[in-house]
Amino acid sequence: MSKCLRFITLVSFFVTVPLFAQKTKKPNIVFIMTDDQSVIAIDSPKTGGNESRPFGFNGDTYVHTPVIDELARNGMIFTKASVSTPVCSASRYSIMTGRYAGRCEGKLFMKQHPEGKMTRVENTVELEENRENLAKLLQQAGYKTGFVGKSHIIDHHLLAKQVKQEAPFMKYDKKADPKSPEVNKAIHHNHEIWSKRIKDFGFDYANGIYAANLRELFNDSINIHNVEWKNKAALEFIEEVNEEEPFFLYYSETIPHGPAPWIKRGNKYPHGLDGNPSFNGEGYDTNDYSYLPSRASIKQEVKNLGKDVDHAWLTWFDYAVGAVVEKLKEKGVYENTIIVITSDHGNFDDEKATLYEGGLKVPLAMHWPNGIKPNSYYKEMVQNIDFAPTFLDLAGIKKTKEPMDGVSLKKVLKGSKKEVHEFLFYEIGFARGIETKEHKYIAVRYDEKSQKRVDAGKWFEGYNGHDHKLPHYVRNGHLGYHGARNHPLYFEKNQLFDMVKDPEETENIYNENTKLTKKYQQLMLKKLKSFPNRPFGEYIEMINDF
């Protein structure tokens, strides 16, 4: 893309020619989320094999994300944003409900964790049909609601049928060519099933859907990221907006989750910018994406700027966000729209599915011309459980049937610098965590079955033959193996870190200060007590005495 055309794109942030003025005073919400992107900037022109770079506004100087960075600068940047559970389904559940993932009552989750049993929170968490969620509540309040992109948040039993290619899904071979009319029809049919099903959870519009990760499409050709396909669906939803109703768009990207868009074969990125743009979650099509620059020009632009071309996928995504901004302006709704840029969790240093910072901390910026002053920063702790109560508060919804664990950030968006959380609570698999400004406490306890196996000295089968003496936090052997491999303290029963002196969490000080240890045990008890009939090691007896 020429420098002139890129300049026009950025200037258009300040020049609008709206088609109509929206009458509603309630803010529109465009929630844009990447997948597996940490907030940690990498001070190197090249990254390791599993490392995703963050955005420019996070301090990484080797990426080119001018649109997103401009939104962040003219809005609010959150410097201490975390998720409560660092895996996809669980984090998305908390975003959409304001509840900790351990409160899930989904069919599969309850089958795995009947009442009275310890929960092992991971990717079996899902939205419940009979409980409130953000989309349902906004829909009831008059919002038009849209869902675009990755789901991985509903019907895990149905997802299993898709992977096995059982009814109601149509079959096709993993090596099949999506260009084949028969194969294309089958993939399109399966996409329609998910699009219709998602609407049952509070969405008026659903398109550009991935049921879960790309590999769950079970076809080699479409196991690639297609930013344009999802972006076109997002623009279509905004185009349908009318002047009477506010809207909520949940826009969930698949990048940079594996297959990583920076994987290189020869001089090509087969799962990213060099993938076939006609292959997507519906199979094969010939959509017109000419409103965005070509993928080749994006790579060249990043190269010309001296940035990391392996992470030109970020510029690809940045252009998609820019197209959303342009559409909002064209429709005359930009000024009253909250645009959120974040990720479902991190994966720095293989810390996904652990309670270390690389898995928990995420990028977060909010832009809202009518409601947030430019160049704003919030330097206190916030968490993904805060999104739902914040958006509901801004929409004028003061009460819900079910309590939420998160808090509204409305006052923060208006300029308050006061802390909204004294401490944060985390959960993943067999681990629970507490974090304050100064320290983080991680407790690892096993369910009854696993503990008996440990006591008997039996080993646990591991990923690619890497058996282990103690069980990983999660059932996913791949995630567990990588999470434990680089972290010597991973299996420690009690871990306490001084986050001021030791932000990389290398020294366990649990046994060094009895008073400090007791403080964090008490904070852990306070949270665990709010999960009735859910034991957690010896803490269940401590709760009864608490």
The CA distance from 185 to 197, in Å, is 19
- Three-state DSSP at 382 gives strand
Give the pLDDT confidence score for residue 3 in this predicted structure.
40
Tokens of 110: 């309850």
For the chain, which residues score pLDDT lower than 70? 1-21, 23, 543-546
Cis-peptide, bond into residue 369, ω within 30° of zero: no
Give kind and range of the element (H or E) at residue 334: none
- Three-state DSSP at 531 gives coil
Reply yes or no on domain 23-415 having CATH 3.40.30.10. Answer: no
DSSP 337: E
Query: Which residues lie across from 30 on neighbouring strands?
Result: 249, 339
Give the pLDDT confidence score for residue 1 in this predicted structure.
42
- Three-state DSSP at 270 gives coil
Give kind and range of the element (H or E) at residue 77: strand 76-78
pLDDT one-digit tens code per residue, 389-446: 999 999 999 889 999 999 999 999 999 999 999 999 999 999 999 999 999 999 999 9
Tokens of 305: 């700027």
Give the pLDDT confidence score for residue 47 in this predicted structure.
85
The CA distance from 402 to 422, in Å, is 22
The CA distance from 544 to 432, in Å, is 18
For the chain, residues classed under CATH 3.40.720.10 are 23-415
Q: Residue written as tokens 């071309």? A: 309
Tokens of 201: 């959870």
The CA distance from 497 to 442, in Å, is 9
Residues in the chain: 546
The CA distance from 177 to 91, in Å, is 34
The CA distance from 39 to 488, in Å, is 23
| List of residues 6+ apart from 285 with CB closer than 8 A | 278
Of the candidates 200, 81, 66, 93, the residue with the CA atom closest to the CA atom of residue 145? 200
Query: Which residues lie across from 498 on neighbouring strands?
Result: 439
Cis-peptide, bond into residue 114, ω within 30° of zero: no
CA distances from 496 to 74, 351, 352, 508, 526 (A): 38, 17, 19, 5, 17
Dihedral angle at the C-alpha atoms of 187, 188, 192, 194, nearest 10 degrees? 30
Query: Which residues lie across from 495 on neighbouring strands?
Result: 442
- Three-state DSSP at 283 gives strand
The CA distance from 353 to 483, in Å, is 7
- Three-state DSSP at 314 gives helix
Q: Are strands 247-252 and 81-82 parallel, antiparallel or unpaired?
A: unpaired
pLDDT one-digit tens code per residue, 283-315: 999 999 999 999 999 999 999 999 999 999 999
The CA distance from 281 to 45, in Å, is 33
Give kind and range of the element (H or E) at residue 195: helix 181-198
Query: Which residues lie across from 361 on neighbouring strands?
Result: 82
DSSP 212: S
Give kind and range of the element (H or E) at residue 164: helix 156-164
Sign of the C-alpha dihedral, residues 10, 13, 14, 15?
positive
Alpha-helical segments (H) within 255-364: 295-304, 313-330, 357-360
